[in-house]
Structure 1
Amino acid sequence: MLARCIQSICDIKYREISLQRGQFIFLTRICENPGINLIELSNILKVDKATTTKAIKKLQEENYVLRNRNETDKRMWHLFPSPKAQEIYAYIIQDENKNIETCFTGFSPEEREAVYKLLKRMRENIEQDWRDLKRYKEEQGGTGINFSNAGK
């Protein structure tokens, strides 16, 4: 629910700078990892390549992202923030930090540290399931879930 609330707030705020639903997440990771490719970006954000491709296309249309072809593998593209993206990156990070501070209102330093450690462990736990499912999906060519007997 925290992630949904923050994403909803950001989606409303970032409309004024022509960032559509959830695109700010892609943009910040490209700014933090200039030259990243689509596969690496998809893995960092835990989304499929189609979602990443669609978001990058829209970010390119708004002149936030530049794509450069890999010299050795012509099928691969590297993503870079445009000057426009670099200008708003500081604003996005400042806003992200404000949201974090709002979430931690009334927390002691010890509570903040405990939350950080617990969330990190939770992320590590679920990432293993994500990797396993992703690997299974790639091997099987499907979702890895059988719904044919659901409700029986």
Structure 2
Amino acid sequence: MKEILREIGKIYRCLDSISNIEFKQFDLAKGQYAYLVRICENPGIIQERIAEMLKVDRTTASRAIQKLQQSGFISKESSPENKKVLLLFPTKKGQEVYEILLEEENYTNKVALQNISVKDQKTLLSLLENMRACLEPDWTLVKKGGQRQYLKKFNKK
């Protein structure tokens, strides 16, 4: 049922588009809100962990984090154990916008799930977590330069 992943994609694009428009007033560029939320929820997190959480490559994470720092939403501090490791923390400005992002998340959850019973919401979450777990090995493989199985038959020619 290829329609399932297509519907998930439509939901993602719909929410991403809304967020990018609404969050522009807070000087958050495309997708930066997701990084800010993770940093606010995990003060002292390192860039590599955020990339893993959001399923993006390090370069993408680095650009977004750099822009957040330049805009005054986050700060970077050297780890006391290893000065080469940079820890990310929200600034006061970042924390204030985070509160708005939480309100948006709560509102969006309420709207999106309004016609789905709590039981079905739990089932849906479980199914989505299962789908993600099935896809993560492919994500890791491709991220490390590997090739997924379906491509191998085309590359033999």
TM-score of Structure 1 vs Structure 2, range by shorter chain: 0.7 to 0.9
Q: How many residue pairs are counted as aligned between the two chains?
A: 145
The ranges of structure 1 where at least 4 consecutive aligned residues each deviate by more than 4 angstroms after the TM superposition are none
User: Superposition RMSD on alpha carbons, in Å?
Assistant: 2.1
CA contact (8 A) 2:77 2:86 kept: yes
Partner Cα distance (1:110, 1:70) in 2:
43
Residue identity in the other structure for 1:53? S
1:3-41 C-alpha deviation (Å, 9 max, x unpaired): 111111000000000000000000000000000011111
Candidates 143, 146, 154, aligned match of 1:144: 146
Identical pairs, percent: 34
Greater helix content? 2
Residue identity in the other structure for 2:29? Q
SS of the residue 1:111 aligns to = helix
Alpha-carbon offset, residue 48 of structure 1: 0.8
1:57-82 C-alpha deviation (Å, 9 max, x unpaired): 11011100100012332321000000
Q: Where does 1:19-58 land on structure 2 (aligned, <5 Å)?
A: 19-58=28-67
Structure 1, gaps ≥5 residues long: 138-142
Residue identity in the other structure for 1:144? G
Superposition TM-score, scaled by structure 1 size: 0.86
Alpha-carbon offset, residue 105 of structure 1: 2.2
Structure 2, gaps ≥5 residues long: 1-9
SS of the residue 1:36 aligns to = coil
